[in-house]
Amino acid sequence: MGPRSLQIERDRFVGFAFAAADVLMELDDAGAITFAAGTTQSLLGHGEKALLGLHFAKLVAEADRPMLARVLARLEHEARVGPFHIRLLHGRSPTQLRALRRATVNGGIQLVVSRTPPRAAIASRSHDAASGLLGRDSFTELAERHLDDCREQGGHRELTMIRLRGLDQSGLAPDSQALRDMMASLGGLLRSVSIDGDAAGLLGEGVFGVVNEPRSIERLERQIKDTVAETAPDLEIDLSVRSIAMNENGLMPKEASQALVHVLKSFAGQLQSDKEIGSLGEALEDRFKYTVQRIADFRQIVRNLEFDLVYQPIVDLVDRRPQHYEALSRFRSSESPGDMVGFAEKVGITVDFDLAVVRKVLDYLSTFDPNRARPKVAVNLSTRSIEQDAFLVELKRLLAQSGRLSRNLTFEITESAEIQNLERTAKILADLRAGGNKISLDDFGAGASAFHYIRALKIDQVKVDGDYIKTLLQSERDASIVVAMTNLCRSLKVVTVAEMIETEEQAAAVARIGVDLGQGWLFGRPAPQIPKTTPATLQAAPAPVAA
C-alpha cells in the first residue's frame, strides 16, 4: 500500500472515529503522541501540531495516570479497551477514552477521546484522594445504575467485592509517599478492570468494590498481590475476592437495585470488622439473595395489606386529654414492626407502604359519625418517600379525594437525618401544611442537624427522641438537653411531644420542663380502635406487656 493509500485509510479512520469522538490521537510504544486531530485545543489545551512529541499521560490528571497505565498495558493482550472515564488536566468537560492497538509494523496505539454523555458524567462523584477510587455513596449510586442498565439492555456484568487486610503491617507510615503510591497503583488497577474506568470504589478500610465484565478472579487476585508487592515485597496480605453476576439465577426483579444498595452499605462495614466470615463469596451472595427476598416479601405484605394499624393516644400533659393518636403498624409475622419498617426505610422501599397506611387511616376515619368531631391521627411518612415525585402525586390525589377528612391527618416525618435536599423538602412540607395538614418531626435530638432542620422547615410539632425521656431522671445532661430543645421550640411556637413515657415520675418531669404533649404506656397502649367518645382524661394504663 503506497503513501496515498495510507493517507486515504487514515482519513477514513479519522472520519469514522469522529462520528463518536472529539479527538483522535496515535501514540508510539513509549506513549508519545505522533498524530492528533480534532478539538484538541479545548480538550487538551494544545493545538494539533503542538501535541506532537508530548507524552499523553502528562495531559491526564495525576490521580488518573495509574489507571491509564493499566488500561494501556491491557493492549498487550487485547485488541481494544474502553470506554473509560478519564480526567484531563485541561478542559472542564468529563471525557471518555477508547484505545486500540495498531496492527502495523511500527506498532503503537490509537486513542479516541470524547466528551462524556451527561448521564454518565463523573464530575460530581466523590473520589478518594489517595486511590482515585469512588467513595462509598458515589460507588453505590453508580453500581445501581449499572444494574439498571444490565436489566434493561442485557449483557453480563459482575459486582466484585474485595477485602484486603495487612496493609497496616507494611511498615509504611500512613502519610508516606510510598503508601500513597501503593494506593494509587491499587486504585489504578481496580479502575482499569472496571466497566467504564470509574466503577470502582473504596467502601471502607481495606474493602473495595468493582463493577466489571466477567473476568478471572484468580488473575485479579494475582494482579492485586503484584501491585502490593511492588511497594512492599515482603508483606503478607490477607486477600479475599468474590464476584456475583448482576443477572445471576434470576436475581433481576424490580427489587434488585434496592438490595444492591443495602448490601453495599451494610456489607462493607461487616467486612471491616467480621473476622469470622469463612467465605467472602458465600457471605456476599447470601446477603444479596436474602435482601432481594426480604424486599419481595415486604412488597407482597404491602400489596396484600397483610398488616394492621393500632392507635396510641398523645395527650395534653396538663389535663391528660387526648389531642390526637398515632397510627402504628402491626405485621402478621414474627418480625417486630420496628425491624420491618426500619429495614424498609434503609432499603428505600417505603413509598407503597406509606401510601397504604394513609389509605387505611382515611378509610378508618370515614367510619366515624360525620356530624361529630372525628379524631386526629398522626401518620408516619419516611423522608425517602416524600423525596419521590410519584409518591407526592399519589399522596395529593388521596388527600384531594378525601376532602376535609384529610385535614385530620398530621404527617410525622421520620428519618429526618436522611434529608438530601433541605430546600426541596421545605417546599413539600409547606405545600402539605397549606392543604390543612400539620407536620411533625420525629425523633428530634441534640445533633446540629436537628436544630438546622427546625430552623429551615416550617413545622407544627417535634417529637423529642425517646432515648432522652428514658434517661431523663438519671441524667442531668439529658435533662438539660430536653430543656434546651423545649425552650427552642416554645420560642418558635412549635409544639413538643415526649414519647416513651412509662411512669408518673417521667410525666411530671417533662411537664415541669414545659413539654406540651406526652405519649407512652402510662397514657395508653396502642389499640385497634379509637374510642368513639373521647374520654375526659387518661389515667395510668396497665403495666406494659411484650408487643
Q: Does residue 537 lie within any of the structural domains?
A: no
Tell me, yes or no, whether 48 lies in a domain.
yes
Q: Are residues 389 and 508 in the same domain?
A: yes
pTM flag (> 0.85): no
Q: What does the pLDDT average to over 101-106?
A: 66
More confident site: 360 or 91: 360
Residue 409: strand, helix, or coil: strand
Q: Considering only CA atoms, which of 131, 100, 127 is closest in space to residue 224?
A: 131
Asked if residue 345 and residue 366 are part of one domain, the reply reads yes
The tens digit of pLDDT for each residue in 207-262 reads: 888 888 877 888 888 888 888 888 777 777 788 887 777 664 444 445 566 676 67
Among 87, 72, 26, 15, CA closest to 52: 26
CA distances from 433 to 71, 376, 424, 538 (A): 55, 15, 14, 29
> With the C-alpha atoms ordered 51, 52, 58, 60, is the resulting torsion angle positive or negative?
positive
Q: Is residue 359 part of a domain?
A: yes
Among 242, 263, 296, which residue terminates a domain? Answer: 296
pLDDT tens by residue, 248-282: 444 444 556 667 667 776 666 665 555 444 455 56
DSSP 381-396: EEHHHHT-HHHHHHHH
Q: Which of 120, 154, 174 is the last residue of a domain?
A: 120
Distance CA 125, CA 121 (A): 8
CATH number of the domain that 515 lies in?
A: 3.20.20.450
Instruction: Decide if pLDDT at 523 tops 60.
Output: yes
The answer to whether residues 377 and 506 belong to one domain is yes
SS3 of 33-66: EEEEEECHHHHHCCCHHHHCCCEHHHHECHHHHH
Confidence of residue 316 (pLDDT cuts 50, 70, 90): very high
What is the structure's pLDDT at 541? 40
Does residue 342 share a domain with residue 234? no
Residue 69 lies in a domain: yes
Residues 41 and 161 in one domain: no
Q: What is the DSSP string of 461-529?
A: EEEE-HHHHHTTTT-HHHHHHHHHHHHHHHHTT-EEEE----SHHHHHHHHHHT--EEESTTT---BSS
d(CA 84, CA 69): 12
Considering the domain architecture, whether residues 490 and 366 belong to the same structural domain is answered as yes
CA distance 183 to 170: 12
Q: What are phi and psi of 427, to 5 degrees?
A: -70, -40
Residue 541, domain member (yes or no) = no
Query: Is residue 272 assigned to a domain?
Result: yes
pLDDT one-digit tens code per residue, 5-59: 555 455 545 444 444 568 888 898 888 999 888 888 888 889 989 999 999 999 9
Let me know whether 323 and 371 are in one domain.
yes
Whether residues 208 and 324 share a domain: the answer is no
- Alpha carbon 41 to chain centroid, angstroms: 38
Same-domain pairing of 197 and 288: yes
The verdict on 114 and 141 lying in the same domain is no
H runs (alpha helix) in 235-382 = 256-273, 280-303, 337-347, 351-365
CATH of the domain at 104: 3.30.450.20
Its domain, for residue 224, covers 136-296
Residue 286: which pLDDT band, with cuts at 50, 70 and 90? Answer: confident
Taking 90 as the threshold, does the pLDDT of residue 510 lie above it? Answer: yes
- How far is the C-alpha of 137 from the C-alpha of 261, rounded, in Å? 9
Domain count, the chain: 3
Q: Give the CA distances from residue 488 to residues 43, 57, 141, in Å, rounded to whole numbers and listed in that order.
A: 53, 57, 37
**Residue 130, in any domain of the structure:** no
Give 377-390 pLDDT, tens digit per residue. 999 999 889 988 99
Domain stops at, among 296, 319, 347 = 296
The reply to whether 17 and 56 lie within a common domain is yes
Q: Is residue 126 part of a domain?
A: no
CATH classification at residue 142: 3.30.70
